Amino acid sequence: MSQFDVTVIGSGPGGYVAAIRAAQLGFKTAIIEKYSTLGGTCLNVGCIPSKALLDSSEHFENAKHNFAGHGIIINEPQADIARMIERKNEVVKQNTDGINYLMNKNKITVFEGLGSFESATQIKITKNDGSSETIESKYTIIATGSKPSSLPFISLDKERVITSTEALNLKEIPKHLVVIGGGVIGLELGSVYLRLGAQVTVVEFMDKIIPGMDGALSKELTKVLKKQGMKFMLSTAVSAVERNGDTVKITAKDKKGEEVVVEGDYCLVSVGRRPYTDGLALEKAGVELDERGRVKVNDHLQTNVSNIYAIGDVIKGAMLAHKAEEEGVLVAEILAGQKPHINYNLIPGVVYTWPEVAGVGKTEEQLKEEGVAYKVGSFPMRALGRSRASGDIDGLVKIIADEKTDEVLGMHIIGARAADLIAEGVIAMEFRASAEDIARSSHAHPTYAEAIKEAALDATAKRPIHM
């Protein structure tokens, strides 16, 4: 029986990063993946392929609507969805091949098959051909991620009533895509097909989209997406989804309690994700789950079984690839006797629409609920020379600081390259910077980042320069 110091079940961002860090720290490491490619949901049917399609559709959108303003005259562009999907698959392969390279480089043993516990220290690997082998591991890290959720009354046929996985491989551009759920995934994939010519209607139970983010971002993104042509049915509860041939009928009740019906040729069900523990046989190891089906862990991400840990989407917290990565590193370093930490308040959230949306730290709504005295500074992207030069004038930067100490408590951005800009907020808050610290730091001109400096000036002294 092969023996390992650390075995990771699942090869998504949390799993493969945990394996690499464990190997770097000198542990004999193995990773088990049930699918034929490494990388998990993120690299295969999540973060990476969705961004590839978002980029392709954004190029198409610019060619169709924005090139002429730059003096670039072309014939009417055509969207080749088959080629876009093909390119997306090429990008996915490059990334998954990269993970294979990293496994070899770090001398990590890769097992392809379903990993399930035989005991707290033994893991059975059932291969696709039906054969199996059992390995022994001193420590195990569960990193099996999540799967798309649905609603009890919805039958997912994966043809017309689909999840995000199928939405990444459509053979045609929908005429009318109805998206159930106004969260990150629904808005991103809705944006892809909106740009390519589909009518897109978002049906959301809450009274706003991206409900977990700061209200100013939700309000601004709603306005921008409406301007782009996306339609919204907020405060609307779906009660039935029925397919008849190529038509999908969605029945719901609006905020007045009145029945509404919307029909499309595709329906994307995007109501969140659920932790994936199927097939792990956790009961054989004695690992406990919580009331929501997540693996229960302590502050060190250790389960109730002392040599078994869990990270990423399968435990509590935001279902984000970079959160899982940080947790993978944390567990590996704890096993090596180090004392790492994660500040979960400083894990940024991002929506890759255009403009992008990003936030870190406390929202204004959270601070109000907690009774914290705060002050707010904001600055519109349209006031920047860089934004006017590129034509990306939608959006704003909002900085929330402690009313007395001026310490930055939250940064929220909607605008061009917000996904990259938010790192400035993370670093500032990691070092407990004040709004004045940011305001007095030089920002290159002309850049989108200048909006952060201006918002900081507004927060600390109500004296932005360019507004």
Catalytic machinery residues: 445
| CB burial string 230-246: b at 16+ within 10 A, e below | bbbbbebebeebebeee
Instruction: Please provide the DSSP assignment of 137-198 as one string.
Output: EEEEEE---EEE---TT----SSSEE-HHHHTT-SS--SEEEEE--SHHHHHHHHHHHHTT-
The residue length of the chain stands at 467
Q: In whole angstroms, what is the distance from residue 393 CA to residue 384 CA? A: 8
Beta strands in 256-370 (DSSP E): 259-264, 266-269, 273-275, 308-310, 349-351, 356-361
92: closest CA among 50, 48, 54, 147?
Answer: 48
Tokens of 442: 């030089």
Longest dimension (CA), the chain: 69
Work out the angle at residue 210's Cα, subtended by the Cα atoms of residues 425 and 192, and round it to the nearest 5 degrees: 100
What is the spatial distance between Cα 97 and Cα 110, in angstroms, rounded to a whole number?
13
Q: Please tell me the distance from the alpha carbon of residue 222 to that of residue 96, in angstroms, as a whole number.
A: 35
Distance from C-alpha of 346 to C-alpha of 193, rounded to nearest angstrom: 32
Find where tokens 């900085």 sit: 399
Distance separating alpha carbons of residues 449 and 381, to the nearest angstrom: 10
Structural contact between residues 329 and 322, judged by C-beta atoms closer than 8 angstroms:
no
**Does a cis peptide bond (omega within 30 degrees of 0) precede residue 148?**
no
3 state SS for 69-122: HHCCCCCCCCCCHHHHHHHHHHHHHHHHHHHHHHHHHCCCEEEECEEEECCCCE
